[in-house]
Structure 1
Amino acid sequence: MATVLPLWFEITSLVVLTVILVGDLLLVIKRPHVPSFREATLWVVFYVALALIFAGLMFVIGDVHHGSEFLAGWLTEYSLSIDNLFVFVVIMARFAVPRKIQQEVLMVGIIIALVLRLVFILLGAALIENFSWVFYIFGAFLLYTAFNQAFGNHEDDGKESGLITMIRRRVAIAPDYDGIKIRTRIDGKRLFTPVLIVFVAIGTTDLIFALDSIPAIFGITQSPFIVFTANVFALMGLRQLYFLLGGLLERLEYLKYGIAFILFFIGVKLFFHALHTNELPFINGGKHIDWVPEIDTWTSLIVIVASMVVATVASLIKARVDAQKRGTTLGDEVPHFTED
């Protein structure tokens, strides 16, 4: 049986993570700029190393069960967060966000994502605690999301939602940005800037991704602490990863299939778990179904890592082959960092 993580460790972890996030936010506000490739790389490596150190502490202070659950949960959320970046790229391009303020915009988006995910984590934990059959719903939702991720039409991702269209009709929006300001003054009139529209677009996107990611990680662990910290570590460094990957994101053609497979796998795992804890009277007379295999955390971890590696390598090979056919190299086609 797994040990219980000490309360002091959970509280200390949350305090330290909050300090890091606030420090990151203040750094962005104090020094808005387009990070260089080297700077973005160092920050991404720093946050990944931080997550691995935290996983090590989970193994030592907790046990193998806690450590493996965190690793599997973090990798799942990290892969889904990379999927977030695809949509962020579309949003930045769609609303012509100046590159110089993209760091601030992304940081606000990450904070919105954390708040939304915290709400969904608390709701999900309460549902699981009181209704074991919710795993059936989570599993079905992930299977649907996996199918939509792999075979759905994503051409509309860059189009405005009905909410944004309504805001444009009812709110006076300035034609140009004024830094990161939401309000500006033009000819004596107070107007909202396009930043408001961008924040709404990112917020609604974060809401959709929260609906996907929270059921996915609850398929790996039912610990709210591990669920939340895995989300925090997955979102930390996402801003720098956006600038690091740059145009390479568009060339990771098969990544969506890797993410879809992860969601499908966890959806199946949730169904198996739901059958093991079944209490629905119309399924096996309300009794548990013990012959269905339980998928352990280490198997989940191997599947998640293998899916992302295969999808990324296959995408890079295809991108390189396509570039050679056009008489260029992959490096030549990835945009360089430039200030607006």
Structure 2
Amino acid sequence: MVREPRGGRADRPVVAVLVLDGVPGHHLTTPGLVFDTAAGHHPGVGYQVRLCAAPGLTAVGAPAPLPITLPWSPAGLADADIVLLPGHAAHHERPPETVLAALRAAAARGARIGAIGTGVFTLAATGLLDGRRATTGWRHTEDLARRHPRIEVDPCGTAVADGPFLTAAGVFGGLDVCLRLLAQDHGEATTAATARELTAPLSRYADRVRDRIDRELTDTAGLEPTLHWLRTRLHLPLTPADLAAHAGISVSSLDRRFRAQTGTSAARYLLRLRLDRARELLETTDEPVERITARTGFTSPAALRHHFSHLTGTTPRTYRTRHRNTAL
């Protein structure tokens, strides 16, 4: 039985981490690391991080099982401003009703909710992600799309924001979610400085790993020749029909092959490649947005800004400034 600690909010936003059995150890510690680091270096920044044990919690999972007890139960979500859902071992099982009810109540009162890795399955079980975009670890995107067909699953995303919900994939997904939440509350400068303290360049390594995994997935589908051809022609106004013609198959067959291997359509995959190329150019060059628009095949700078903001939650200009500050 979990005993609730005493003590009020002290006017600090509450971050409640809802922990299910088999949580990866780093998912458990990342929120405190990020928010405590920000508070320790920036006057006026302060959070109360609560670790809340879901029913049945006994131990952490990877890298090795370790018995654990936490000071809060799901009741700790009752006044939380932010709720975080780490991954956990039994993500295929339906979460306890107390967990689902606590999450729905948090969303109803306007709390922001972030889910990392297999924790996205827990959030999906509430129905709160229906009709929204979300992502999870690359090994689980196809399963998430199959189990929750009303969710638009992004198989290539490292972090996806849709309304008050943030979902993330990968080892560094929790770090990305916490930094994005910090940026919403305290701006880009504070977040960039906090990221430097946390060795944020590691996230760029994670992006490279994601790209390699994505290439390996397309290899198994026999699409690699067409994907290689596509990557060298992103500046052209290509369409799924052009990809199908190059692959020598119909558009419907091309789309089925893409969905079978990545969980998304050829058109969305093409858009993601264009956006990834735009991010790379923003990070590594000083080219104006108009030139980047031409090099990535968008019809206009306004189209690039629209899709870029939808993916990252920020403008190309702000993204470039934030990346340059973080890389210092």
- TM-score, normalised relative to structure 2: 0.23
Structure showing greater relative contact order (alpha-carbon pairs closer than 8 Å, 6 or more residues apart): 1
- TM-score, normalised relative to structure 1: 0.23
Query: 1 or 2, which has the higher helix percentage?
Result: 1
Q: Over alpha carbons, which structure has the higher Rg?
A: 1
